[in-house]
Structure 1
Amino acid sequence: MASGQAADMSLMDISKIFSLLQPKEEDEDGEQCQALNDAVSGDNAALLSELLSQEGYRRCINAHSGWGVPVTPLRTAAALGHLKCVEVLLEHGAEIDSLDVKAQTPLFTAVSGKHLDCVVALLKAGADPNGSPYNNCSPLLTAAREGDVDVLRELLRFGAEVDVRPKVPEWASNATACRGPLYISAVYGHLDCFRLLLLRGANPDYNCTDQKMLARIKQPKTVLEVCLRYGCGVEYIQLLIDFGADVFLPTLIIDKTTKQNEALLLLLKERVCPKTLMSETRLAIRRYIPVAIKEPAIDRLDIPLILKNYLKHATSELG
């Protein structure tokens, strides 16, 4: 009997949830909201502009509507990649960082859909490049996972946190909480994103500097160790070395099953061969420059172009 009651209650709870997600028929602004959504869904920017010229429709510009997961017109336009509609809605005062029931902002959905033009439009209009603090993921983590280097570049240009972590409660923290953009781009094999993140100041020893994290996780993995374990290739190892990763952090277990590949040999060689003075100087200068202004600051230095390019890793060594 008790189990039957529990099942009934579960069904009742599920029914209640679905009823809450359905649009309210008695909503007096329902027709206006639907008209806005139809215009956005159909990518009809002219009609959308005409509707928003009327007070009744402007009241609904930030309304959440639609069956299932109610969303704002701006969220719909961003998710579908309808740039003109995004621009019209922003011109008429749409709330740029409005949240849906998943705590996703319009920018987050534009990044997920790989709609670069919408991403740029939202960022220029003032969207938070880090997304919502209430969502576990972030636009930058999403772009790194998808390997969308152009979207990643724009997010970083507008101030996205380069070493952002998934947002999970402290009591739920585990190794997953360590998986930042650099880690994810390596695991998914996105070398261009991996390099861009390092250029924009990502910590090459990510996972091994946060004392609170170290206290909760028994064996945190450095990005260098992850690259070795996933067979990311020598290019990833070389980049981490060039950007100052501590080559002594990974614990290497050499046995009969260990593949002696080029990447591992490169790391072992680096452990016994010190960096050149030029490499150490480049690392020291880059560490001194704040993450947010590395590229502009380097361009303003009163030094020859060849040295600027070296500081920006456009050339590997100077002859």
Structure 2
Amino acid sequence: MAVGQAVDMSLMDISKIFSLLQPKEDNEGNELSQALNNAVSSDNVIVLSKLLSQESYRRSINIRSGWGVPVTPLRTAATLGHLRCLELLLEHGAEVDSLDVKAQTPLFTAVSGKHLNCVVALLKAGADPNGSQHNNCSPVLTAAREGDADILQELLRFGAEVDVRPKVPDWASNATACRGPLYISAVYGHLDCFKLLLLHGTNPNYNCTDEKMLARIKQPKTVLDVCLHYGCGVEYIQLLIDFGADVYLPTVITDKTTKQNEALALLLKERVFPKPLMSQTRLAIRRSLPFANKEPAIDSLEIPLILRNYLKHNTYELAGCSS
């Protein structure tokens, strides 16, 4: 039954993609859309504004046009990072989550192009921070892979799923399907993104919250396992420990590199010595806060600033507070 449902979902996704590939009979609309696309491509806001002042062009604003992969004018603006054109299109009714033939939204292409201003403008206009359900990847996975912490921060601020994973049918699930943004940021060595994801409540153990999927995978690897395997520095191990990762889950296999030995020594030390009471208290308080928007929730607490900073894992911690 589950396989049948997965196949149905897969066929639905394929049907959606093919529907985007169907040629449109409205040749006049295609020509008008192409004119809009040309103005956007050259970042000519004056021409674009004049075109959009006409009703016929406004009606064609969401039509895909162009050679190869037909795209909407908004998709073109997001891809090229032309912010003024993008904002003008949104003001005149451009569909913020329109899809191209790859099931990519304008937000996804703006994230891929590292156009922070366009990302923020699209999110403020109501773009889905998780991208399209028909696309195997997502804006968060892309930002984590590219190490773009500023864009990742905005996506998470607007409610993007922090433990998002590649979209594959259940019957095709394997270890790859569990490789969420925390895993990716560790493998690619993006420490800022790694910490940012942890601050926003990502699962520090498996970076996957689907228990059924984990049950289907033989010996699923924890994020600690991954960090040790890829020789991530002690900073990654310390962060995982600080954010409550279970240090007894990883299978410890010694390696030859000094960096890995330092990380391993830290992990083994943590297994021997209990976590300080202050650290345990911080974990308990953070877990009791709303899953999203933890920082605003912490700021609202009526406690001294130094304690609020400690709850946010600021670098200076509580030095001088032990007396």
**Are the counterparts in 2 of residues 208 and 221 from structure 1 also a CA contact under 8 Å?**
no
Q: Deviations over 1:154-192 (max 9, x none)?
A: 001100011111111001111111111111000000000
1:34 to partner: Cα distance:
1.7
Aligned to 1:179: 179
The aligned counterpart of 1:140 is 140
Matches within 5 A, 1:114-129: 114-129=114-129
Aligned counterparts of 1:99 and 1:258: Cα–Cα separation in 2: 46
Q: Using the alignment, how far apart are the partners of 2:139 and 2:293 within structure 1?
A: 20
Cα distance between partner residues in 2 of 1:210 and 1:270: 27
CA distance in 2, matches of 1:140, 1:88: 26
- Relative distance call for 1:38 and 1:153 in structure 2 (3 A) is same
- Match in the other structure for 1:316: 317
Contact 1:162–1:181 (Cα < 8 Å) also in 2: yes
Cα offset, 1:210, TM superposition: 3.1
Match of 1:238 in 2: 238
Aligned residue type for 1:96: V
Deviation at 1:55, TM superposition (A): 1.3
Query: Which residue of the partner structure matches residue 7 of structure 1?
Result: none
Partners of 1:103 and 1:231 lie apart in 2 by 35
1:154 and 1:293 map into 2 onto residues whose CA distance is: 12
User: TM-score, normalization: structure 1?
Assistant: 0.90
Deviation at 1:31, TM superposition (A): 2.4
CA distance in 1, matches of 2:82, 2:107: 13
Tell me the distance in 2 between the aligned counterparts of 1:189 and 1:311. Answer: 25
Report the counterpart of residue 224 of structure 2 in structure 1. Answer: 224
- Contact residue 163 and residue 180 of structure 1 kept, 8 A: yes
Tell me which amino acid in the other structure corresponds to 2:267: L
RMSD (CA atoms): 1.8
- Give the CA deviation at 1:23: 7.2
Query: Are residues 270 and 26 of structure 1, via their aligned partners in 2, closer, same or farther at CA, if it must alter by over 3 Å?
Result: closer
The equivalences for 1:88-237 within 5 A come to: 88-207=88-207, 210-237=210-237
Change in 2 beyond 3 A, CA 1:129/1:26: closer
For residue 46 of structure 1, report the CA deviation from its aligned partner: 1.3
Q: Give the superposition deviation at 1:248.
A: 0.4
Shift of 1:316: 3.3
> Which of 235-244 and 44-53 deviates more?
44-53
Say if 1:143 and 1:152, in contact at 8 Å, map to a contact too.
yes
Distance, in Å, in 1 between the alignment partners of 2:126 and 2:198 is: 25
Q: Contact 1:22 / 1:68 at 8 angstroms: preserved in 2? A: no
Q: Percent identity?
A: 80
Partner deviation per Cα, 1:26-58 (whole Å, 9 max, x = no partner)? 712232122111101000111111101111111
Structure exhibiting the larger radius of gyration computed from Cα positions: 1
Kindly indicate whether residue 277 of structure 2 is the aligned counterpart of residue 277 of structure 1: yes
Letter in 1 for 2:53: S
Show the counterpart of 1:4. none
> Aligned partner of 1:83: which letter?
L
Q: 1:63 to 1:26 in 2, by over 3 A?
A: closer
Q: Deviations over 1:62-99 (max 9, x none)?
A: 00111111110000100000000000000000000000
Q: Is the 8 A contact 1:22 1:67 kept in 2?
A: no
* Aligned CA distance change for structure 1 residues 24 and 62 (closer, same or farther; 3 Å): closer
Distance 2:204 2:149 in 1: 18
TM-superposition CA deviations, 1:227-278 (whole Å, max 9, x none): 0000011000000000000000001134x85866110000000000000110
The residue identity in structure 1 corresponding to 2:105 is T
- Contact (CA 8 Å) 1:225, 1:250: kept in 2 or not? yes
Partner SS state of residue 292, structure 1:
coil
Q: Secondary structure at the match of 1:101?
A: coil
Any unmatched runs of 5+ in structure 2? Answer: 1-19
Q: Which moved more, 1:291-300 or 1:91-100?
A: 291-300
Given that 1:21 and 1:68 are in contact with CA atoms closer than 8 Å, whether structure 2 keeps it comes out as: no
Paired with 2:235 and 2:212, the residues of 1 have a C-alpha distance of 31
SS in 1 for 2:102: coil
